[in-house]
Amino acid sequence: MFSDNFDASAGGLNVVPTGWTVIDGTVDVVSGGFCVAGLCVDLDGSTGDAGILSRSFALLGGVDYLLSFDLSGSRRGRTDDVLITFGTSTRFFDDLAGSSPYTGYSLSFTPGSDGVYSISFANAGGDNVGAVLDNVVITSLDGPPTEVPEPHSAALAALGLAALSFTRRNKI
Ligand SMILES: [Ca+2]
Ligand SMILES: [Ca+2]
Ligand SMILES: [Ca+2]
């Protein structure tokens, strides 16, 4: 339902990637060997105050969502603490080594109700050298019903009704 490889953002120091919000501090949009491909984000900008990269989404209650992303160490020797959040789910990288290669990580979240929820990537500290982020993707594990091809809809609906009546029978 969402993906951004940052390649459409403008590169530069202390810039905000297109469509994102940077709270309290700055990030850099960098390129070349820092990235999986194209452009990516150094989570600690160039103002001595690491940013929190954030973005909000309207999500449906009860649906399982998966946030996945590629995260690398700073590639400049320093270690970094990085906190990732997705709704109420969190994932913390404690002393992520500068040499830690790009790795795909994920974080799942199931909203309790329909609403607007955020993802955020926060690098601790502010030495202008941060962990590097590329390829942020959110998928809905349940899949929207609109993706079901038409001819199968009726059959699935019938199956759903059968399951419902089965459930009801079992409750008695
Ligand atoms: Ca990229
Ligand atoms: Ca930086
Ligand atoms: Ca740092």
Tens digits of residue pLDDT in 10-61: 999 999 999 999 998 999 999 999 999 999 999 999 999 999 999 999 999 9
| pLDDT(146) > 60 | no
Choosing among 1.10.10.10, 3.30.70.1150, 3.40.50.1820, 2.60.120.200, the CATH entry for 2-147 is 2.60.120.200
Return d(Cα 105, Cα 90) in angstroms, integer: 12
CA 45 to ligand 3 center in whole angstroms: 10
| pLDDT(82) > 90 | yes
Q: Which listed ligand is nearest to 128 at the C-alpha? A: 2
Q: What is the pLDDT of residue 148?
A: 45
| Contact between residue 16 and residue 22 where contact means Cβ atoms under 8 Å apart | yes
Side chain identity at residue 133, one-letter code: L
CA 130 to ligand 1 center in whole angstroms: 16
Q: What is the pLDDT of residue 24?
A: 87
CA 80 to ligand 3 center in whole angstroms: 5
| pLDDT(147) > 70 | no
Which residue has 């709704």 as its token pair? Answer: 87
CA 137 to ligand 1 center in whole angstroms: 12
